[in-house]
Amino acid sequence: MAAAPVQSPTTLLQLLSQLEDAACEDERQNQSLREISIDLQSRADIALEQLDQCRASFAANEESRDQLRGDIMNDQEGGTAVVSIEVKQEETPIPDASYAANLTIGSETCPYEGQRGPPPNPNLNPYRGRGRGMSPHPHQMLSAAWEHGNGYEQ
């Protein structure tokens, strides 16, 4: 039988120091794993709460949809349907009297009624396209009034 080698006390102290270092390292890793585990558990709890909220919201939407479907079926069975339409009406400003007076020339009304500002082309020949001896178009008469400073917007 062979005898076990005898080690010096410094070697034993080095081994003991290495074992302590290894134990400390294991403890640090265990602590890190515990922290990771706690973090994952808290995230899982938050995810479960959100899932419960989503399920509750989904169930409420299903109830609402079923209720609406039932209302529609009841309306169809009764032969009547109730429809609610909201009409939004905007107020239209009323033009002043001088504006309205300048729109009417004789018994004809300007086809550009409601248009603000000068007519599209005040330089048009008033007799172009109207035939010989015919009076100018009412809108072209407005163009002339505009050029002479008594248009409908002064």
pLDDT in tens, 114-128: 555 555 565 555 555
More confident residue, 97 or 72: 72
Of residues 108, 141, 112, the one with CA closest to residue 124: 141
CA separation (Å) from 88 to 67, 85, 113? 29, 10, 24
Domains of the chain: which residue ranges?
9-89, 97-147
**pTM, rounded to two decimals:** 0.34
Most confident range (mean pLDDT) of 11-15, 70-74, 138-142 is 11-15
Contact indicator for 76, 69 with CB cutoff of 8 Å? no
Q: Which of 144, 153, 149 is nearest to 121 (CA)?
A: 144
